[in-house]
Structure 1
Amino acid sequence: MLRARLSFFQGSAPALRSWGSQMDLADERETGPALSPDLSPDPRVSSRDPDAHSGASSAHAGDDDSLLEFAASERSSRDDKAVEELLEVVTRAVARLQLDWPQEKETPKPSKLEDRFLSGGRGEGPQRQSLPFFEDLHDELSKSWKKPYTSRVFVPSTSIYSTIVGAEARGYTMMPQVEEMLASYVSPVSASSLKKPTLPTKPCRTTSALVGKAFQAAGQAGAALHTMAVLQAYQADLLKDLSAGTTITEEAFTELRRATDLSLRATKQTARAIGRSMAAMVSTERHLWLNLTGIKDKDRVFLLDAPVSPSGLFGDPGFRR
């Protein structure tokens, strides 16, 4: 409907301009130059008839509001259905894997600003619930948390899952380098034509190195997701053939099992890369706070490399009150 209206206005634009010009000339003879051209979509509707304009505008606005309400209702219905499907499958998966899943349902607090009439009496949808915590995945993710500052970003033995075509060109491998022109402007002392631009002070360079470390680890996780997606899409196609009644050979079943195991391996490496990125960000935050002290570098490294703990930034009970 909206597209039809748009094409109508676009197609009748020359006629509107011609008629509007005639009206402007007529008005100019009577009252002087017109302040603005008349762009009424119907020449039979006078620009001096406010009731006609308001009636047409109200009708158009009503149609647009109805379209928006319908689209919002459809989108909300799809979201509710997706939540229900997710919870159903996860419930069966938790039972099969024998995972601990406390029923921590989120009860939304009713708002006095919710619709009373326009929603059409639509319910609130399925009750939101937190998904299960997978302890095995957390063990992989937190492997680098014991020594967040000195843990290695690049692990050659597991890099096969994150080594993808075009990773460097697409910005997965390292933080983009600052432009030389900008570096020479903001820090002329550190800019040199023979070396790549660097930050002027040691604390700034350390911060930059830690942020770069976190970026590289996150890039490895993002690259490994490509491998996971390829394997999962392959699994989906194999299962689609199975559900369609196509004869599945023993080789196809073996291939499906291989793809599943490789996808799980890629998942573990992705989790480890995310954990390294989180560990580097914790070290960065610690470094920023330690810059406010006069602690020596040797002691500072000890604090930067302390195990990550959700209870506090430095993970030491002695720092808490």
Structure 2
Amino acid sequence: MTSIHRRTVLAATLALAAAGAFAQGKYPEKPVTFVVPFAAGSATDQLARALAQSWTEQTKQAVVVDDKAGASGSIAAQFVAKAPPDGYTVLITTNTTHAANEHLYKKLSYDPVKDFVPVTGLGKGGQVLVVRADAPYHSVADLLARARKEPGKLSFGSGSSSSRVAGEMFKQMSHTEILHVPYKSNPNAITDLLGGQIDLMITDTATGVPQIKAGKLRALGVSTTKRIPLLPDVPTIDEAGVKGYDMGYWFAAYAPANTPAPVVARMRELLVNGVRSAAAKNFFEGTGGEPWTTTPEELAKFQAAEAQKWGKVIRAAGIEAE
């Protein structure tokens, strides 16, 4: 028996076992692992922990939140893709792993479509352009003036594809040259921004807003076409002079391919309830995001459309696959 054949038989056996357990009304009958592609403190990590709290309240089963940062989420995605399809490993992720990476890397360690079963959308949000509070930039115009005066002197960090593409789009649409510095996750980039190793970044609001509220970072613009209630005095990047700029992000849950449909249905039910929970409500209110749930079929269609959209954005920004 070939190794591929053995893996296929094993996957089928595990899927049947999981289906049988569900049929007996036992799923979940042990702790579940939520795998997150970014570091502790990231927006995805914060949402995963809110959902984990609700899951435990509903099922009386513990949830382990496992942050596997690195390679723009590919490490976590590959881990879940190879996990047993039994309902006990769930990827809580974003458009980074399931819409952008296929256009950013010539070879991925996972297939964002074939290796996963969509479960449900979880939420949507925007990003914010930030600099240190003591930086000499008080507006997007100030920042652009410096970038144009000294091309290539400024640097921006990113710890996700959303953040990376947002920065590259900013460069492309403002006709400036700013050096990109990659990080494992946005919180890591924030640390270096605060320490002066980089000059700016466009980060998710969950990571950026607490630092802005604490007076450590200054917000110059938000990435969506509408201002966000958390930062009512901060203009959109479009308003601030980079016309047409718009770059948000989304969260979603996926299970390994071949996870039985009844298990996926129960998983979705628990996660949708989690999105509606008080803990998730606090997350969205505190980060300027919004809840968003789907059926598996709706998420599959949405993901396909988003993959096309991100491909166009990445090509327009002049980003070459690595």
TM-score for both structures, normalised by structure 2: 0.21
1 or 2, which has the higher strand percentage?
2
Give the TM-score normalised by structure 1: 0.21
Report the structure, 1 or 2, having the larger helix content: 1
